[in-house]
Structure 1
Amino acid sequence: MLRGRNGLSPVMIGRHPSLDRLLGLVEAAEVRSGDGPEIALVSGEAGIGKTRLLREFIAALPADVTVLTAQARPGSMGRPFDVVGQLGPAGDNSAATARAVLEAAVAAGRTLLVVEDLHWADADSVHFIEQVCMQAWPQLVIVGTYRGNDLSRKAPGGELVLRLERQHNVEQIRLDRLDRAEVAGLLAAIGNAPPSSGAVEAVYRRSGGIPFVVEELVRCCGPDACIDDLKTAQLPWSLDEAVRQQLGGLPPDERRVIDALAVFGDPAPFEILLDVCGLTDDRLLVALRSLATQSIVVEPEDDTFWFGHALVADAVQQQLLGRERRRLHERSFAALRAQVEPDHAALVRHASGAGQFELIPAIAREGARRYLDRGASFQALRLASEALAEAPNDPELLAVATDAAWRLEFGREALAYAQQWNANAVTDLERVESLRFIARLHHELLDADQRDFTVALLEALADTLPQGLARGRCIGAVAQLHMLARRSAAAVDWADRALADARRNGDQWLEAQASVERSSALEHLVPRDESERALLHARELARQVGDSVLECRALNNFLAIVTPHGEMGAWARSELSEAAARCGLDKLGAGMLALWEAEAAMASGDMRAMRQFVAEAGQHWSARSSEYCHQRSHLADLRIEEGLVADALAAEQEVELGGVVSEELRPSEYRVHLVAAALEGRRADAERVFSAIIALPLVPDKTHSLW
């Protein structure tokens, strides 16, 4: 069932076109023979009526439609499977259970899956939803809601919405504020009588046309007031004032609950509220029952309580005195710290609110690493960066911040963290790892001089370190960096040294890492089938040591040498998507994966899909990056296929100005110029470019040259 209170109005105003569009999706699911679910995204600011629209939508559905609902909450990003876990029975939030529930519903017939507030969704739930969107379930309709102004770049829900919005088959429904006529209609429905123009104007000016605020203003006049009383009433000028008037007469116990819930900032279990409010069981129960009767508080699930609308929580908290807020943050912190599985992001928020800043670094060291290890890179970066404000030179926090920023494609931010990490490194291993990131990030930001300078530092360090873990990892880092710089022979030599160290010291992770570097470098030295086997073996070693980042790198490099639209290409893209979701590696699981999908689409002649994926890839990188140049190269190919010669040449010029026309991109660059000359009838230019292609050195069989 949908959470949140029911509105004052017995009928919905101003949303019937949107309702009709949603109902049309369900009707289409009955007769559709397409491959996937129908998908709709409903967006709008807080209080605009997204939940009311969904309530009316569900109420209007035929009886044969199964409805499943879930809702993200303010703290969901810090809790794995917090959203999709709501699809299964209480206490079981596993993806397997959620999928079984969904599969059973779809097998029985038409099914509606509603996910509210995607902007707060956790990474694991987002991956689950994205996988469901790709299933061959034409009888499924998926509706998600979000607030556009609360979407964050690289937040799991934000990335999901951006990817879905770029798909041509996704229905996008944006709810706007009500106009004067619609506000008049809403007041008439609430009061069961036409309002005067004065009442409409007074409410419209104060509410701005936001339905929730309209209802709160009416609520301030009391349940027995008629609508025209609004014209002469002392209406509040803001939602904050409306909430203040509404809550002003509450008994002390109810006010304590409201204040505690607002500062806690998330749906709160009964036991937590007991600790934060300081009430007895019976007094808390009486207060909650009264608040629920007034629709101020709702019970979204058994023994868990939250406001009927999140806007009320914001308004209540702003009205508290600083000392009141600090005390409630202290109690919230103590209550959460006693939990078996503490929410580290919430702990840091309450420690900050309580003024206990000295506790934040220790909480973040544990929590940020946990978030990163389970693939919640965005939450890891937020937590680490917040703690670094208190402990700016903490190497553990800097390590997590560097890694998380790199996974999320914040290249320059990651480089700044890596340099600070290196300056404050305590152990040899920290020095090695920070230098590896510095060199890799310089490479990705197209600064070859600084990359090679840092590689030289690592080579010198490898010669001075004693036998052991740090020395082996240093040698493996050098192998990786030579591989990235396309110095294949050097990469293989350093990888062989790392493998010897790994076997001597029993370092299975280093064996997997060195195998990835070695097999990736082999693509320039051995036949393609041998390179494929080596990369698949390296990928298996990465799986055995449980390192999804290594696994992603092996799969990404494997995709560079296989036919993109063949069975192995499709398999590798699917595996890359799964592995990247496990470790929150947007860099490969979103950006590069879009490029591989674009290549597969072009190779199979699907221009519509290629347009979609080229556009998606273009959202991920800045102009000064090697990946951006790859994306522009694909764009040039697309424009040539579309016959837009000038646009193709402009995109190719961006590649050339980027200064990273690698061996495998150079044939594509020449191909664009060759076809452009042919299309424009420039025979001499075409012959000149063709001669240049013939004169190019042989390159390995790779994705770019296989079709």
Structure 2
Amino acid sequence: MGLCADVPRMLCPTVVGRAEELYWLSAGLDALHDGRGGCIFLVGEPGIGKSRLADEAIAEAGRRDIWVLSGRASATGRAVPYQSLSGAVLSGLRSRPRLDISQTPGLQAGLATLLPGFFEGPAVEPSPVLLGETVLRLVSAVAGRDGALVVLEDLHWACGDTLAVTEYLADNAATERLLVLGTLRPEGAALDLVDALDRRGSASSRTLEPLSRAETGEMVAACLAEQERPVSAAVTGLIDARAEGLPFLVEELLAGLTTRGSLVASEAGWELSSDIDPVDVPLSFAQTVRERMGQLPEDERHVLEHAAILGRDFDWSHLPSITLESESDVLDALARAVDLQLVEELAGGRFSFRHALTVDTILAEMLGPERVRLAARALDKLVRDPERVEPGLLEVAAHL
């Protein structure tokens, strides 16, 4: 059990399983030609393919000479107000270095406020209206009839002020040649904003679903198509089971298998070698789980560690006796884990980790003796209650 070494990315040359979303994005760009703007959002869990679709929209806009302004929020480093918005404006201006907007009416105060040091003029107290209107006027002055695409990625990490500007843009984009494209995870204030904009007709959104088994197979074949060999069912089956429909994990797992020599090209096609660790976790995915676990206090992390020992699906009612925590404390921990999208609630008092690799990551972070100690305690409690035998009893015993 362990974490994969950091390996080069394997990028799929085509976008698989997202035909409807690509058509939807293209239609938004088409509308700019007719003078109609709009605001659209791509919602989905990490690794589901939001950024890949945003990249496709950016590439398509470039082919149409649509002005692209692209920025993203970040969860790391010092919090920077309006980070994604200022990054988008700077990227757009870099793409047109000979552009002179110094004499454009109504821009200087907003740009000096959003980008202090880049523009002369008195900065004023920032407000969503001022900065939103600055972007609208900038687009009107620069983009012309071709229009503009403003991409704001990872809005789940954006500050409240950035979300307020996004709302202003969404409410006013329809009458401009401006398409706003935002990406976000299904959580927090950003999702609340998207729901509100959806309800009042100021924006539309799509929640991305995992790839089907057939689509995963198509993506695996596309990733390995360069050598024009068929892909064995064993390879596709392994990737489908581990990636669970997340395109990013399909690429990461294939890259890891290739780098370690576990994926080999034979005369018959792509095959798995015998040297495979079935629970290796890509570092990129593991880091996401670590970050979310790190948001929990120690006692709540303790609850999830015991839950991981029980397996991917577990009965919450076993946890109080195993963890020695009260029922209310266990439920509080699970509620927090649901909010952080580490687990989800099932029917009948059961919960499930959202991804099998989440369990593997939590277990991999623990020392072997600690896993054994927790498993022994869990097994002792479970066998004392024969009327409520946990389906994962053998899974618990496997840690001993």
What TM-score comes out, normalization by structure 1 length? 0.31
- Taking only the aligned residue pairs, the percentage that are identical comes to 27
> Counterpart amino acid of 2:180?
I
Bigger strand fraction: 2
Q: For the residues of structure 2 that align with 1:69 and 1:76, how far apart are their CA atoms? A: 20
> Counterpart amino acid of 1:164?
L
CA spacing shift, 1:229–1:194, aligned 2, 3 Å: closer
Which residue among 233, 237, 240 is the counterpart of 1:197?
Answer: 233
Q: For the residues of structure 1 that align with 2:59 and 2:222, how far apart are their CA atoms? A: 19
Matched position secondary structure for 2:182: strand
1:189 Cα deviation (Å)? 1.1
Q: For the residues of structure 2 that align with 1:77 and 1:118, how far apart are their CA atoms? A: 16
**Does 1:8 pair with 2:22?**
no
Q: Which runs of 5+ in 2 are unaligned?
A: 1-7, 92-113, 117-125, 299-400
> Counterpart amino acid of 2:196?
R
Match of 1:652 in 2: none
Bigger helix fraction: 1
**Does 1:314 pair with 2:355?**
no
> Counterpart amino acid of 2:138?
A
The C-alpha deviation readout for 1:552-599, integer Å capped at 9, x for no partner, is xxxxxxxxxxxxxxxxxxxxxxxxxxxxxxxxxxxxxxxxxxxxxxxx
Task: With a CA cutoff of 8 Å and minimum separation of 6, indicate the structure with the bigger relative contact order.
Answer: 2
Match of 2:43 in 1: 43
CA spacing shift, 1:128–1:30, aligned 2, 3 Å: same
Q: For the residues of structure 1 that align with 2:78 and 2:21, how far apart are their CA atoms? A: 29
Query: How many residue pairs end up in the alignment?
Result: 245
1:218 Cα deviation (Å)? 0.9
> Counterpart amino acid of 1:159?
D
Which residue among 174, 187, 191 is the counterpart of 2:220?
Answer: 187
1:313 Cα deviation (Å)? 2.4
Q: Is the 8 A contact 2:264 2:273 kept in 1?
A: no
> Counterpart amino acid of 2:52?
R
The C-alpha deviation readout for 1:653-686, integer Å capped at 9, x for no partner, is xxxxxxxxxxxxxxxxxxxxxxxxxxxxxxxxxx
Q: What is the CA RMSD across the aligned residues, in angstroms?
A: 3.4
Residue pairs, 1:20-35, within 5 angstroms = 20-32=23-35
CA spacing shift, 1:318–1:77, aligned 2, 3 Å: closer
Q: For the residues of structure 2 that align with 1:53 and 1:22, how far apart are their CA atoms? A: 9
Q: For the residues of structure 2 that align with 1:71 and 1:85, how far apart are their CA atoms? A: 9
Which residue among 162, 170, 179 is the counterpart of 1:125?
Answer: 162
1:100 Cα deviation (Å)? 3.7
The C-alpha deviation readout for 1:103-135, integer Å capped at 9, x for no partner, is 223332311111112222101111111112222
Q: Is the 8 A contact 1:67 1:111 kept in 2?
A: yes
Q: Is the 8 A contact 1:48 1:177 kept in 2?
A: yes
Matched position secondary structure for 1:68: strand
The C-alpha deviation readout for 1:430-477, integer Å capped at 9, x for no partner, is xxxxxxxxxxxxxxxxxxxxxxxxxxxxxxxxxxxxxxxxxxxxxxxx
Q: Is the 8 A contact 2:69 2:89 kept in 1?
A: no
**Does 1:113 pair with 2:150?**
yes
Residue pairs, 1:517-666, within 5 angstroms = none
The C-alpha deviation readout for 1:296-333, integer Å capped at 9, x for no partner, is xxxxxxxxxxxxx5x352357799xxxxx9xxxxxxxx
CA spacing shift, 1:139–1:88, aligned 2, 3 Å: closer
> Counterpart amino acid of 1:63?
R
CA spacing shift, 1:167–1:48, aligned 2, 3 Å: same
Match of 1:231 in 2: 272
Matched position secondary structure for 2:281: helix
1:209 Cα deviation (Å)? 1.4
Match of 2:196 in 1: 163
Q: For the residues of structure 1 that align with 2:196 and 2:77, how far apart are their CA atoms? A: 20
CA spacing shift, 1:189–1:104, aligned 2, 3 Å: same
1:159 Cα deviation (Å)? 3.0
1:89 Cα deviation (Å)? 4.1
Matched position secondary structure for 1:39: strand
Which residue among 199, 206, 210 is the counterpart of 1:177?
Answer: 210
Which residue among 250, 265, 268 is the counterpart of 1:214?
Answer: 250
Q: For the residues of structure 2 that align with 1:140 and 1:102, how far apart are their CA atoms? A: 8
Q: For the residues of structure 2 that align with 1:211 and 1:15, how far apart are their CA atoms? A: 11
1:141 Cα deviation (Å)? 0.6
> Counterpart amino acid of 1:105?
V
Q: Which runs of 5+ in 1 are unaligned?
A: 245-308, 320-324, 326-348, 354-707
Which ranges of 4 or more aligned residues in structure 1 deviate by more than 6 Å? 316-319
Match of 1:138 in 2: 176
What TM-score comes out, normalization by structure 2 length? 0.53
> Counterpart amino acid of 2:152?
V
CA spacing shift, 1:60–1:10, aligned 2, 3 Å: same
Matched position secondary structure for 1:48: coil
Q: Is the 8 A contact 1:112 1:140 kept in 2?
A: yes
Q: Is the 8 A contact 1:80 1:122 kept in 2?
A: yes
Larger Rg: 1
